[in-house]
Structure 1
Amino acid sequence: MSQTRVLALVGSLRSGSVNRRLAETAAAVAPQGVEVSVYEGLAEVPFYNEDLDGETGAPTAAEALRVAASEADALLLVTPEYNGTIPAVLKNAIDWLSRPYGAGALAGKPAAVISASPSGNGAKWALEETVKALGIAGGRTGLQLSIAGTLDKFGDAHPKENAEVAEQISALLSELAAARRELVDA
């Protein structure tokens, strides 16, 4: 069986954010045969503008994102909830990856979404909006995990130290790898 390469995109740019730590947890608890890499360049990607995405190519940062997503077998998006919806940086990444229309880096690619929040809601609105945007952009979604009460659940500890959350993320990655294998075998 070949290695499944998963690219994780994090909707929070803050270095110590719970969402970044959840992406790091995914990399740490990935099951055998799955490799997760956290993308580091979202802050440099300009807002999508079709005038910038022309015949001469996309801006360097946007092109680097497209290449990374194209080379990945699957995507993992990890999102907080900002004012009841998806953070702009993550929506912008989806916009760049959806182009060119019908043939972007998301087209037919399996994707999973993790949302997290200190509230009891678990950022479910952002999760729903992310799944919706991914699906419209051509990604194959459906794999989801919402983590509520992050302050109580993690405190100052890294999420990978929480056995329940680590197992949930590992199981989600197993499902993502299985979805990728189904596409390859089809």
Structure 2
Amino acid sequence: MAITIAAFSGSLRKDSFTTKLIKAFKELAPEDVTVDIIDISQLPLINQDLEINLPQAVKQLHNSIEQADAVLLATPEYNRSYSPVLKNALDWGSRPEGQSKWKSKPVAVLGCTPYQLGAFGAVHHLRQVLTYLDMPAMQQPEFYLGKASDKFNGEGKLTDQETKDLIIQFWDAYIIWINKIN
């Protein structure tokens, strides 16, 4: 059965390790899985006044979520929390009030950082929000990529075989989770 994943990187930086990780997940996805990397860089800051006439970027976000069977969120860590751009996308996806596009979408969370802990704090803070959004989050296996700068080459390709193996194992569990929820 074909599955479409809406994948989000919580970093806008040009050479973002988080975006490189999302791209590695896309490259290592099972054959019957399509990973659409959603650009959240053009979303305006959340502003209820804009709900009267939703901006095109928000409409595109809503459409991407609606078309997806599941969601993959990757976040760096900022001050022990997930990124503000990811929060903005989550907020827009839940608006206007009562019209959340996230509801019941199976989700998996990835943490990525050049530091040791792999964005542990960010992932756990993000999971709190996902509970409120009524998104069933896969609990195990967890995925934290620490020391990300050592895992990619100069072209942004994942070169660490251990991380590749973990991604493949993660996909196996995530596909089972998606099918269970859907």
Confirm or deny a common fold (TM above 0.5).
Answer: yes
TM-score of the pair, normalised by structure 2 = 0.90
Relative distance call for 1:133 and 1:125 in structure 2 (3 A) is same
| 1:161 paired residue among 159, 168, 172 | 159
Paired residues of 2:70 and 2:107 also in contact (CA < 8 A): yes
Aligned letter for 1:133? V
Contact 1:11 1:90 in 2 (8 A): yes
Q: 1:27 to 1:153 in 2, by over 3 A?
A: closer
2:15 maps to 1:19: no
Distance of aligned partners of 1:142 and 1:180 in 2 relative to their CA distance in 1, 3 Å threshold: closer
Preserved CA contact (<8 Å) 1:9 1:38 = yes
Q: List per-residue Cα deviations over 1:90-146 (Å, max 9, x = no partner).
A: 001011112344541110000011111111111111111222112211211134311
Q: In the comparison of the two structures, how many residue pairs are matched?
A: 180
Structure 2: gaps spanning 5 or more residues: none
CA distance in 2, matches of 1:94, 1:174: 26
Q: CA deviation at 1:153?
A: 3.7
Q: Any idea what the Cα deviations from partners look like across 1:65-111, whole Å, max 9, x if unmatched?
A: 11101101111111111222111110010111123445411100000
TM-score of the pair, normalised by structure 1: 0.88
Counterparts of 1:174 and 1:48, CA distance in 2: 35
* Secondary structure of the corresponding residue to residue 79 of structure 2: coil
Name 2:33's counterpart in structure 1: 34
Are the equivalent residues in 1 in contact too, given 2:118–2:145 (CA < 8 A)? yes
Residue 177 of structure 1 deviates from its aligned partner by 2.1
Say what the alpha-carbon RMSD is for the aligned residues.
Answer: 1.8
Deviates more, 1:81-90 or 1:163-172: 163-172
Residue aligned with 2:168, SS: helix
Partner of 2:116: 120
Contact 1:34 1:173 in 2 (8 A): no
> Where in structure 1 are there 5+ consecutive unaligned residues?
none
Contact 1:74 1:176 in 2 (8 A): no
**TM alignment of 1:1-186, pairs within 5 A:** 2-40=1-39, 42-54=40-52, 57-143=53-139, 144-154=142-152, 156=154, 158-184=156-182
Q: Distance in 2 between matches of 1:157 and 1:123?
A: 23
Secondary structure of the structure 2 residue equivalent to 1:141: coil
- Percent identity between matched residues is 29
Alpha-carbon distance between aligned partners in 2 of 1:58 and 1:179, rounded to the nearest angstrom: 33
**DSSP-derived class of the 2:73 partner:** strand
How much has 1:151 moved relative to structure 2? 2.4
Helix, strand or coil: the match of 2:143? strand
AA in 2 matched with 1:47: L
Letter in 2 for 1:20: T
